[in-house]
Amino acid sequence: MLYSKLMKVLIKIKLDSIAWSIRRLYCPVDKNALVLEVGSGGNPYFRSNILCDAYIDTRERHFAKLIHDRPTVLAYVEDLPFKDNTFDFVIACHVLEHSKDPEKFLNEIQRVSKAGYIEVPDAFLERLTCYLDHRLEISDINNELVITKKTGYVHDENVRELFLNKVSMVFPQIVRKYPFSFHVRYYWNKNEGGIKYKITNPDYKFNWDSPQIHKEAKKNKINIRSSLTSMFIFLLRQFFSQNKRNRHIDITRYLHCLSCKSDKFEWNMELICLNCGKKYPIIGENIINFTN
């Protein structure tokens, strides 16, 4: 609660960008709550106990290295390998907008968790910036998520052209100064009716992919500033995460088989479902792969 109060004060005195960084320390649960993060990627929330991402390496998160310093599974949010109501809270930060099936995505996080937090770029920001690999435009209107499936990488060529002409040069500074106005931050709780949302074009089926531009250039760019930032975040992670607790989590207690939903597993180089025999490979030391 301390952090949410601090954020309010900072916003009041117009230090929105500092409040914005602090939001990542705020998670409205007590210290015993079990927290899942989906789309945890290269910079998970400190409070997350179990991490879930669909990829080891992907452009969807600009090739940021997957952090797996806690129990970690590789899985699609639309098909999570966890039992019902396993978690007290689920964090989904900048991941819903990548989904091709938002309905399944939102059903799954509500199946496995009692409450949660969703953060995405606001539809207006998305309309202008047209981020690669974003498939949804999302806004929150009267505490309801309004979701539109993008029917192409660029929604409006003319708006995009005008934006790139002049405004795009100063735009990042404006977003950094007023981040709360350009993002959706949505808290939900099943006791209060769960996630309220509507999809404006539910029947649309995706038939496009983002252009493959600047792929290698971005991947190989070594940037001193970003190295320092990730070192700093690494240190913060050591300090603020529940490292000791996370080390002792037996993740198999929370898992179920994606094929038969059985929760009986055996470790034998891989994770093997004792009911149907399906095998889930282990990547590295601790990442269980549920994506194939």
Smaller CB separation from Zn ion, 33 or 260: 260
Phi and psi at residue 136, in whole multiples of 5°?
Answer: -130, 145
Smaller CB separation from Zn ion, 34 or 120: 120
Closest distance between Zn ion and the C-beta of residue 8, in Å? 26
Smaller CB separation from Zn ion, 58 or 242: 58
Tell me how far apart the alpha carbons of residues 37 and 51 are, in angstroms, rounded to a whole number: 5
- Residue ranges that bind Zn ion, judged by CB under 5 A: 94, 257, 259-260, 262, 273, 275-276, 278
Which residue type does 188 have?
W
SS3 153: coil
Closest distance between Zn ion and the C-beta of residue 94, in Å? 4
- Asked whether 136 and 151 are in contact (CB, 8 A), the reply is no
Closest distance between Zn ion and the C-beta of residue 82, in Å? 14
Distances from the Cα of 39 to the Cα of 43, 51, 97, 141, angstroms: 10, 8, 11, 24
| Environment class of 290 (CB within 10 Å of its CB; exposed 0-12, middle 13-18, buried 19+) | buried
Closest distance between Zn ion and the C-beta of residue 277, in Å? 7
Closest distance between Zn ion and the C-beta of residue 183, in Å? 11
Closest distance between Zn ion and the C-beta of residue 13, in Å? 30
Closest among 145, 137, 142 to 110, alpha carbons compared = 145
- Asked whether 88 and 114 are in contact (CB, 8 A), the reply is yes
Tell me how far apart the alpha carbons of residues 280 and 269 are, in angstroms, rounded to a whole number: 9
Phi and psi at residue 32, in whole multiples of 5°?
Answer: -90, -10
Smaller CB separation from Zn ion, 228 or 276: 276
Smaller CB separation from Zn ion, 3 or 171: 171
Tell me how far apart the alpha carbons of residues 73 and 53 are, in angstroms, rounded to a whole number: 7
Closest distance between Zn ion and the C-beta of residue 65, in Å? 17
Tell me how far apart the alpha carbons of residues 123 and 239 are, in angstroms, rounded to a whole number: 35
Smaller CB separation from Zn ion, 219 or 245: 219
Smaller CB separation from Zn ion, 34 or 251: 251
